Amino acid sequence: MNWTKGILSGFAAVSLSLLLPTLGSLLIPTLAAIPGLKAVNEEHATGIGLVLGGFLENFSSPRFWIVAVLLFLLFLATGRLGNKVLRLLLFWLPVTLGSTLGLMIPALFAFVFLASRGR
């Protein structure tokens, strides 16, 4: 079970640290003073190009890796809590959400790409 928790923690940490800044920049596009949003606002990409550009930009930044390591350590520590309610709230819910989003968003991009290629 420890291997499963470790793998889920790592995947969820990478997924969440990749998705949260990108989703934040899409939900709050008017805050141009934030450094992460400045590069997105300067580009002229639209639609999926904007989202994929945000993912690639976040993936190569050192801030992404720092947040991913911190989230991994947080998930690893909370996965070993003795209290079942705290472990459910602080480990299983965020890890399940992060893993689901980490799998569903690339699947959505693949679906859109394949669906648009056929027409």
Split into its structural domains, the chain has a count of 1
Give the mean pLDDT of 45-63: 68
In which band, very low, low, confident or very high, does the pLDDT at 106 lie, cut at 50, 70 and 90? confident
Strands (E) located in the chain = none
Buried b (16+ CB within 10 A) or exposed e, 19-34: bbbbeebeeeeeeeee
Average confidence score pLDDT of the chain: 78
Alpha helices, H only, 28-92:
35-42, 48-59, 62-78, 84-87
Which pLDDT belongs to residue 32? 47
Domain that holds residue 21: 2-117
Q: Say how far apart CA 101 and CA 42 lie, in whole Å.
A: 27
| pLDDT for residue 59 is more than 80 | no
In which band, very low, low, confident or very high, does the pLDDT at 95 lie, cut at 50, 70 and 90? very high
pTM of the model: 0.69
- Amino acid residing at 60: S
Map tokens 């480990």 to a residue.
Answer: 91
